[in-house]
Amino acid sequence: MRTLSTALGLLLWLLSVALLDLEPVARLLLGGPLVAVPLVLGLVRPRSVSSGGWRRWRVAEIAQPIAAVLLVVSFALDRGWLAGAFALPWAAFTGWLAVLGGLRLAERGLRGPVAEIAVDSGLIFPIIGGAWLVVSRLGVPFLGFGEPIVILTAAHFHFAGCVLPVVAGLAVRARPTGLARASAIGIVGGVPLLAVGITASQHHGARWLEVVAALWLSAAVLLVSVFQLGLIGRVRRWSQRALLVVASLSLAAAMILAIAYAVGFFIGARWLDIPTMVRTHAVLNVLGFAIPVLVFWNRLSATERRALRFDDTRHGLCICLRGVDRPPERGAWDGLAFAGERARDDAIDEHVATVGAESPGSPEHGGPFERIAGAIARFDVFPLARLRPLAPVDGVAPGDIIVCATPFAWIFDVVIASRVTAVHDERRGDIVVSGFTYRTLEGHPFVGEETFLAEKDVATGEVRMRIRARSRAAVPIVRALRPWVRRAQRRAGREAVTRHGRSPASLTESSAPPLQRADSRSPRDRTP
């Protein structure tokens, strides 16, 4: 599908340039939606149908050629409302790309690998280009800008905003050095900074900001071209080497022109004007760099991908779109390390509820204790509306992985995984217990562990359910929402221990030796 879409896009691009009366910028810009974007999709989509989120990428691959063809129709029309309407599907497609990039970013977090953050940015930025493209086809001013600035901005966010960050991320995967990461960060920050600088220069006369942004972005891009040249020794085929050389040298030449234009603009020396930059800088970026480098990365064999560390890093979190995505298979979580170790600032919760009574002595067959112990062994603990296992759980053993989904914002399921560390089936003094403990795996929004126990007091016959939890936020957004998150955690714990009772039970202080008091406050909130 990807190869066919790219081939047809290339053919349509050539026909558009030959048959339509297009301005030079438009001729180059159409290469983004028709050729560059399908090549980018081929690089970032999951490589297995068993991967989480594969279906959402399938939606993108189907929608891309349809939206791109309608965009060509838009350029065949005079600027106006009809041309703008035909450009809207492409803007909607770039919005879907932004959703995909945002989900990738949310799954890894801002503390994830720099290479993946760069790739995520390359999927998010084009939505700005899509919006400006609609404005350009409408033929109306936007934010005080008219043509050719509007269409140039659209082109900027389709190539510098899409291709550059993705390629920078791939370069960091292949050569994960500190300087390579710095170049990727420079591009991720430089692309929007340049847009801000141009706006400030236009409306507030702040030329210096535009020049600083242009120099920043150019320096980062020059570093990427150097790193690409450094990959030549790892590539065996001469055709692949030729593509890499052409792309790297073209990118370097384009950035030198950008630096010359920025410096000339700042000191008032018009060495280069916009039409000249379109004929030189833009042509080098599109035809010399973007298309060749994307072809290079797409044509790598499986062996070459492994040699260049092509595949992205694993993570233990998947955000699935309801009705679209299929969660990863359980084996996708094998080999992941624990999310972290205990810390002094962990929040500690303990919830206990009396759920029934039996005759004193050993647990009765089919009694409340066995009922609660069986529910825990099946991980039928939390209300399904809060947390549900994605695969049936029929007993647990140390090392087993439990994969669960929790709903978020009505349209997402956050899929998380934990590994069982201990199984409890023993007598502790006068208390018989049955249950297990698990710890969260890397990628989980929390670092922590949780113990689920069915308890029976053999002296009194009282049967209780107890949940002990220790956790702390592992990602910035969870830390920022800490008060809301803590309330949600405490509410989920209370609901879990009471939902299996014959009647709603209140939280109680258990006669069993507790780890902490039966409340939901953090150690920082209570006096030792």
Element (H, E) at 325: none
For the record, the structure tokens of 413 come out as: 């399921």
Does the model's pTM come out above 0.85? no
**What's 279's DSSP letter?**
I
Nearest to 414 by CA among 392, 438, 441, 445: 445
> Which residues make Cβ contacts (< 8 Å) with residue 399, sequence separation at least 6?
419, 420
Query: How many other CB atoms are there within 10 angstroms of residue 401's CB atom?
Result: 19
Alpha-carbon gap, residue 334 to 341, rounded angstroms: 19
Within the chain, what is the greatest distance between any pair of CA atoms? Answer: 95
Nearest to 519 by CA among 348, 354, 381, 344: 348
Alpha-carbon gap, residue 458 to 456, rounded angstroms: 6
Given phi > 0 = left and psi -120 to 50 = alpha, else beta, which region is 366? left
Element (H, E) at 464: strand 462-473
293, 122 contact by CB (below 8 A): no
For the record, the structure tokens of 3 come out as: 């190869």
Q: For 115-137, b where at least 16 C-beta lie within 10 A, e where not — what string?
A: bbbbbbbbbbbbbbbbbbbbbbb
Q: For 322-346, b where at least 16 C-beta lie within 10 A, e where not — what string?
A: eeebebbeeebbeebebbbeeeeeb
Q: For residue 203, what pLDDT is reported?
A: 65
103-107 long-range Cβ contacts below 8 angstroms, 24+ apart: 103/53, 103/56, 103/319, 103/321, 104/44, 106/319, 107/315, 107/317, 107/318, 107/319, 107/443
Per-residue tens of pLDDT for the chain, all 528 residues: 467 778 899 999 999 999 999 999 999 999 999 999 999 998 888 765 555 567 788 889 899 999 999 999 999 999 999 999 999 999 999 999 999 999 888 877 776 688 889 999 999 999 999 999 999 999 988 877 888 889 999 999 999 999 999 999 988 888 777 888 888 999 999 888 888 887 777 666 667 787 888 888 888 988 888 888 877 877 778 888 899 899 999 999 999 998 888 888 777 777 788 889 999 999 999 999 999 999 999 888 767 766 666 554 456 678 888 777 777 776 778 888 898 898 888 999 999 999 889 999 999 998 999 999 999 999 999 988 888 888 888 889 999 999 888 888 778 888 888 999 999 999 999 999 999 999 999 888 899 999 999 999 999 999 999 999 999 988 777 888 888 889 989 999 999 988 876 443 333 333 333 333 333 333 333 333
144, 203 contact by CB (below 8 A): yes
As to burial, measured by CB atoms within 10 angstroms (0-12 exposed, 13-18 middle, 19+ buried), residue 503 is exposed
- What SS3 class is residue 349? strand
Nearest to 324 by CA among 92, 108, 124, 57: 57
Alpha-carbon gap, residue 221 to 156, rounded angstroms: 14
Three-state secondary structure readout of 411-458: CEEEEEEEEEEEEEEEEECCEEEEEEEEEEECCCCEEEEEEEEEEEEC
Query: What is the C-alpha R_g of the chain?
Result: 29
190, 213 contact by CB (below 8 A): yes
Query: How many other CB atoms are there within 10 angstroms of residue 181's CB atom?
Result: 18
Q: How far is CA 86 from CA 72, 81, 235, 291, in A?
A: 8, 9, 42, 25
φ and ψ of 52, to 5 deg: -65, 140
